[in-house]
Amino acid sequence: MQQTFQCYRCSAQNNVGQPHCWNCQLKFQYNCPNCHAPVEGTMVNCPYCHILLPWPTQQQNVPLDKNQNMIPASIDNSLPSVVRDQLSKLPVAKQQEFIEEFNRKHKSIGCAYCLWVLLGWHYAYLGKWGYQALFILSLGGFFIWWLIDIFRIPSMVRDYNKDIAINIIRDQQLISGH
């Protein structure tokens, strides 16, 4: 029989392991019964001590390898191969740290285009302040440079995100001593 509990916000009955309340959408926080680390209700194994969590999930029948790749495909496909190789060697907890840091630092192509339209601030968005100063002083290369950047922005953002991924994985290795 499925264990249930009451949502403290709306008092709706919810199954243990649900990521959020079915009624009010309040996100639930669970703790690992072994190491007491915070875990998601949809997780099968604790990312810290790797024990099987006691609540049912859709993925319950899949055993978790200690170094299983937990990087979402949307991020994994945009990473350089050297970063993917290093991530595959890391434990799940370190992979999750990488995801959090990458999501915090990565840049969006859509946002870069918005800033490009608004007086060409896309170089500042990508941290290229020298280019930004030249761009402004030359009025976007008399608008020629500005028009060329229509086609360059996606690759500039991809390159920036790849550099960020490399820096994050390098920092993780320096901190952990590997």
103-141 pLDDT per residue, tens? 999 999 999 999 999 878 999 999 999 999 999 999 888
Specify the pLDDT at position 28: 74
d(CA 131, CA 45): 47
Listed residues 46, 64, 82: the one ending a domain: 64
Specify the pLDDT at position 122: 93
Residues 7, 80 within the same domain: no
Specify the pLDDT at position 2: 64
Residues 95, 176 within the same domain: yes
Query: Residue 168's domain spans which residues?
Result: 65-178
Listed residues 37, 64, 91: the one ending a domain: 64
Report the number of distinct structural domains present in the chain. Answer: 2
pLDDT < 50 positions in the chain? 58-66
d(CA 161, CA 78): 8
Burial-class residue 84 by CB neighbours within 10 Å (0-12, 13-18, 19+): middle
Listed residues 34, 64, 94: the one ending a domain: 64
Specify the pLDDT at position 61: 37
Strand ranges (DSSP E) for the chain?
4-6, 13-15, 30-31, 38-39
Specify the pLDDT at position 56: 56
Specify the pLDDT at position 69: 61
Specify the pLDDT at position 176: 75
d(CA 111, CA 153): 10
HSE-up (13 A, CA, CB side) for residue 153: 23
Residues 56, 79 within the same domain: no
Against a cut of 0.75, is the pTM above it? no
